[in-house]
Amino acid sequence: MDGDGAGWGIESWTLGATDGAPAPVAPYAHATAAGPLVFVTGQLPIDPVTDEVVGGHDVTAQTRQVMVNLEAVLARTGSSLDRVVMSRVYLTSFDLYDACNAEYARWFPDRLPSRTCVGVTGLARGCLVEIDLIALR
């Protein structure tokens, strides 16, 4: 195999502001598809145009921007939020849990995916929340 995954049916996307997603903050692809699944790298509440963290210390605003970014990445892979089967939410404090949940739930009005929520000691660029996804293509 050639090492890029093409021989295994693996496809990756690295996106930028013109795709509606923030540029990567580290060496990673925004999404990688293998078979019928697409794995979306954790998204932060970064505005793709300004490259600034959105929402200050407001986890609701930050969660909203994370979901906007996730939706943009999924769209580029040919998927969407209604095809998400699993998500992981990372929070810097469980004091933010209820507010994050309220905003998160708005993005899944018909069916909630399986989910794990993890408390962490910090996230890149001082963000309060990060979310990654697994979806069907």
**C-beta neighbour count of 129 within 10 angstroms:** 30
In tens digits, what is the pLDDT along the chain, a chain of 137 residues?
Answer: 234 555 678 999 988 777 889 988 888 999 999 999 999 999 999 999 999 999 999 999 999 999 999 999 999 999 999 999 999 999 999 999 999 999 999 999 999 999 999 999 999 999 999 999 999 99
Q: What pLDDT is recorded for position 24?
A: 86
Q: What pLDDT is recorded for position 4?
A: 56
3-state secondary structure of 119: strand
Helix (H) or strand (E) holding 105: helix 97-106
**Domain annotation for the chain: domains and CATH numbers:** 6-136 (3.30.1330.40)
10 Å CB burial of residue 87 (0-12, 13-18, 19+) is buried
10 Å CB burial of residue 34 (0-12, 13-18, 19+) is middle
**Residue 28 amino acid letter:** Y
Q: What pLDDT is recorded for position 7?
A: 60
